[in-house]
Structure 1
């Protein structure tokens, strides 16, 4: 027998769908506008004639960027910073989170309290810079990677995930002769792909979009990541070719935003299934 929906339920569905449609429009419109502006005539963009669809389509802005060698140097720097930082973050965070998820670890509570302390208090920018300087890390990839290697928030998320895994699986591995490192590598990590992929994506997106650390620790222009180049165009108003003509600066801004944003957007569809799997596991065990 079919149950009739109440008018309140229908009203809720209508409001929910309407709200989601508005949210989608709010999120999609900026990307559509930026893409349209990047391939439109610079005069029309500067005068505000481009609102949604491109006008007088041209790829001049992309041509000027593609043939600029600084773009590819910055791209390579950003890629290697992101890959190295993400890989080392996953290794270091999992290596710290796994023992902290075990109640038999001596001093476990004290270590967790000290880790939580760093979420509320930090030394600040100047002490951090002095440490990086004294260690001789300035103008190197390690100045970008090491200071933010472990996020306390990600550490607690991964520790909680490890705690939720069945202990019987680890006991079976121990009986088969596996040590703690082998249990982590062969049993725990393969079962932890959802949380590893999630934290890896958050770390990669954060590093891909980061520019402040590079602005502080790097003086060599050949070490600059892509976001520094984007900042110079958007904020400083610097022409990418170093010329005095800034007539195409508006379209260059939008073209640079698209070039800097598109690669990291393409990564998400490959990680999405792990988000769904992680949500299902949390729902079942919660």
Structure 2
């Protein structure tokens, strides 16, 4: 295999350390004859994807495919761009085209599993991620997809277990730490969630979403937010429905003397939930 040119090697190195804009700057110096080189196109798509510029990543992949013909990696990026645009059917067709060329491609299998999970096809998603894991069980994309599929299936505990394994095997991977933080937050474990997002920020300070999530978890971990943990764990709607059901049941059972203090406590809780979080968030931001 021919070694990449110095420009492509630099662009690849910039991507590997999470500096996609510098990778694009390096790629912009390529001579016109090399712009549509498949490897250059893959790097360009990856850099644009890291920046969240999915429409441009899709255009770059489509142009390179038109020039060079079918390529599993470029089909992967094109499918991801179509998925981001909400075009699930087109993304599925592209992924199937890619898998026809490379049936054991881990990235394609995981992308297809992620797509199926998002569409509620959880059994199919699980089978696809199992196929990917059979090829490379330690791959970061395999771990990340296993977490997403487990979470989509409502298996929060399993998703957290996989995320912990992901972090143990890839401690410097910001996605691993962010996923662990997100799953922990969904289970109301704010300390673990904050630690996960904090480590994600340390590994990739350029991703604003990690920093914002870390800030929110630091707010949630504040002692004044302890009474609001049920809302974080179960969601405001579920907590509200549970309290309303309890008060209604007590009144139907002829226990208004018990229902009244619960209703007053709930009213105070609501006021607390409206007033305290903005104040805590303002304090935490000031000392962030």
TM-score normalised by the chain length of structure 1: 0.25
Instruction: With a CA cutoff of 8 Å and minimum separation of 6, indicate the structure with the bigger relative contact order.
Output: 1
